[in-house]
């Protein structure tokens, strides 16, 4: 089994954090996204969408999509549980994973890709007006999230989950996107600091 | 248990098709999205993101996000399996559900929301250039999907799954977004016709 990894890009990091939380070691094949190696044959022959990470199993079967790769490992090694317990717990983790992905991670990524000069060859065409609109979407969601985090320790409940991993990566990604968590959102800040302090955050 | 439903909008339809495939009946509370009722108290008190569908359990617990609601029912009633079997099967369904959602359903929705005049109050600001860019993203993905569907019957393998539900809803949503499946993509057309012919498609 090999994990074709993309270094500091946010999606590869989600999977590395997940594996660190599980205590699972997978051999890493580093791919230099800064040098656009993810658009080369090594990656596109495995994932025609030219995105990382990609997991290749020993029989050559390929899995892409960070959350799908994480779910594969959750099924192989359920503990510690990171996708929730029971029908309701699993649904709540999925709900919050999606909310954090669709309403925070994606808007932050759109702001970065459509505004940052370094992304000119990555996002064609760059549409700066769309990037700007996403800054407000991200902040609007953080306000909602702050109210939720006033009620509990983690995004989806009292246990750490993949929803928190998506949240950590999204908040950390705000810096290159030239966004910051508003000072008054103290619950978001408390939660983010706690996630950053976990050993997995440096994976 | 009540399902707050949004009529012909694509996300409410995903959940209704899923329930029809499972043979599960849930009492429906109709919400008129055309009249913007999803931004009223009935919905926002349950889902502050003001989106549908929303499932409310008998104890008042609320679930939103279509795929999370579907997973709840998958866990309650596993058969017929719609999220895959075994670690690899589940990961492959999740991979294709996400690919169809992120690379087809979302681009089609963006094209619709950022270009269609009826969406002026829904998507603020509308960014027509971003809408246009998404038309190409959707078609590019259909080309990739066509090559995959030459190899198997359904999106994620030989069995119908939630990935196909997302695909059906996405392709049907192309019409109001003023997009169409290119004639030469015969595998996509065969797959789409087969999905449309299932009784669940009219749910």
Name the residue in chain B with its Cα closest to that of A144: B48
- Cβ pair A161, A152 in contact under 8 A: no
- CB-CB under 8 Å, A129 with B63: no
* Token output for A184: 């008054």
Query: In sequence order, what are the residues at sequence separation of 6 or more whose Cβ sits closer than 8 angstroms to the Cβ of residue A10?
Result: A105, A109, A169, A170, A172, A173
CB A82 within 8 A of CB A162: yes
Q: pLDDT tens for residues A192-201?
A: 999 999 999 9
User: Which of B90, B98, B130 is closest, CB to CB, to A75?
Assistant: B90
**A60 in contact with B, Cβ within 8 Å:** no
Number of Cβ within 10 Å of residue B189's Cβ equals 17
Q: What confidence score (pLDDT) does residue A134 get?
A: 98
Per CB-CB distance under 8 Å, the chain B contacts of A49 are 99, 103, 144
Alpha helix ranges (H) inside chain A:
10-22, 41-44, 66-76, 86-100, 106-115, 128-149, 162-173, 186-196
In the prediction, which pLDDT does A201 show?
Answer: 98
Tokens of A107: 């808007």
Tell me the three state secondary structure of residue A156.
coil
Substitution target in A65, A77, A115 with the highest count of B β-carbons within 10 Å is A65
> B9: closest CA among B25, B31, B29?
B31
Average pLDDT estimate for A26-39: 94
Give burial (CB, 10 Å; 0-12/13-18/19+) of A108.
buried
**Distance, in angstroms, between B83 CA and closest chain A CA?**
11
| Residue A97's pLDDT band (cuts 50, 70, 90) | very high
Positive or negative, the Cα torsion across B121, B122, B127, B131?
negative
Over residues A145-162, the pLDDT tens digits come to 999 999 999 999 999 999
Q: How far is CA A145 from CA A100, A151, B142, in A?
A: 9, 10, 35
Residues of chain B with pLDDT under 50: none
* List of chain A residues whose C-beta atoms are within 8 Å of the C-beta of residue B94: 65, 67-68, 71
Phi and psi of B79, rounded to 5°? -100, 145
Residue A153 pLDDT:
98
A103–B91 C-beta distance less than 8 A: no
State residue A98's pLDDT score: 98
CA distance B102 to chain A (A): 10
The span from the CA of B24 to the CA of A36, in Å, is 47
- Average pLDDT of A109-117? 97
End-to-end CA distance of chain A: 19
ipTM exceeds 0.90, yes or no:
yes
Chain B residues within 8 A of A90 when measuring between CB atoms = 71-72, 75
Burial class (CB in 10 A: 0-12, 13-18, 19+), A183: exposed
Task: Give the number of other CB atoms < 10 A from CB of residue B170.
Answer: 25
Across the interface, whether the CB atoms of A67 and B98 are under 8 A apart is answered yes
Q: Is A87–B75 a contact, with Cβ atoms under 8 angstroms apart?
A: yes
Q: What is the pLDDT of residue B110?
A: 98
Over range A1-18, report the average pLDDT. Answer: 96
The whole-number pLDDT of residue A157 equals 96
Q: What number of CA atoms fall less than 13 Å from residue A104's CA on the CB side?
A: 30
Phi, psi of A11 (to 5 degrees): -65, -45
Contact A131, A114 (CB under 8 A): yes
Burial A38-49 (b: 16+ CB within 10 A, else e): beeeebeebbbb
Q: For residue B108, count CB atoms less than 10 angstroms from its CB and return exposed for 0-12, middle for 13-18, buried for 19 or more.
A: buried
State chain A's mean pLDDT as an integer: 97
């Amino acid at each position: 089994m090999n994990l074709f990894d993309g270094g500091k890009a946010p999606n590869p990091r989600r999977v590395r954090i997940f594996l660190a939380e599980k205590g699972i070691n997978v051999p890493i094949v580093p791919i230099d996204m800064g040098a656009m190696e993810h658009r080369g044959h090594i990656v596109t022959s495995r994932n025609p969408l030219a995105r990382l990470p990609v997991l290749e199993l020993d029989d050559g079967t390929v899995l892409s999509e960070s959350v799908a790769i994480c779910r594969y490992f959750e099924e192989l090694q359920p503990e510690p549980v990171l996708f929730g317990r029971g029908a309701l717990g699993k649904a709540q983790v999925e709900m919050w994973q999606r909310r954090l992905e669709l309403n925070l991670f994606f808007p932050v990524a759109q702001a970065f890709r459509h505004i940052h000069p370094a992304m000119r060859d990555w996002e064609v065409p760059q549409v700066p007006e769309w990037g700007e609109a996403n800054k407000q979407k991200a902040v609007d969601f953080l306000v909602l999230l702050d109210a939720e985090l006033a009620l509990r320790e983690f995004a989806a409940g009292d246990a750490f989950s993949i929803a928190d991993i998506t949240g950590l990566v999204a908040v950390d990604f705000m810096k290159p996107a030239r966004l910051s968590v508003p000072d008054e959102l103290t619950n978001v800040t408390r939660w983010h600091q706690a996630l950053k302090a976990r050993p997995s955050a440096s994976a």
